[in-house]
Structure formats: C-alpha cells, structure tokens
Amino acid sequence: MKIIEIFTIGIVALAFMLITGVAKANPITNWITNEKNKIVEYQTKSWADSKIQFAQTKQTILNLFKSKKNVTQD
C-alpha cells in the first residue's frame, strides 16, 4: 500500500505543478530540452558524416580489388 500512496501523491503533485505552470518554468526542464536538442543535432551531423566516410571507405576497398584484377602475372 505504501508504494501506491507515494505514486498517487507524486501524480497529484505533478498535476498541480503542470496546472499552475511551475513545471513549465523550471530551469532544469529548459536545460534538459536544450541538451536534448544539442544531442540530436550532433548525432544527425555525425551520422551524415559517417555515411559519407563509409561510402568513401567502401569505394576505396572496391578500387583495391578492381586494380588487382587488372594486374597480369608474368
């Protein structure tokens, strides 16, 4: 019963904070949102860069095999 009471009190407190706007003006919430946006932006750029790098690496490896096929043995 103790856990249910604590959970209920938490939900009531959260609802009160959301209704009164206390949770919306929280600097911690703003910081978390800003950090999340920075992470998403970084990951998007990083993944795009890694796709380009992977394509270049793949082409380099394929070129190695292509050049070996054209070599004649004496």
Mean pLDDT split into 10-residue runs, the chain, 74 residues:
76 79 69 91 94 94 77 56
- 33-to-24, 28, 69 alpha-carbon distances in Å: 11, 9, 54
**pLDDT recorded at residue 26:** 75
**pLDDT recorded at residue 21:** 67
| 21 token code pair | 């706007």
CA distance 40 to 33: 11
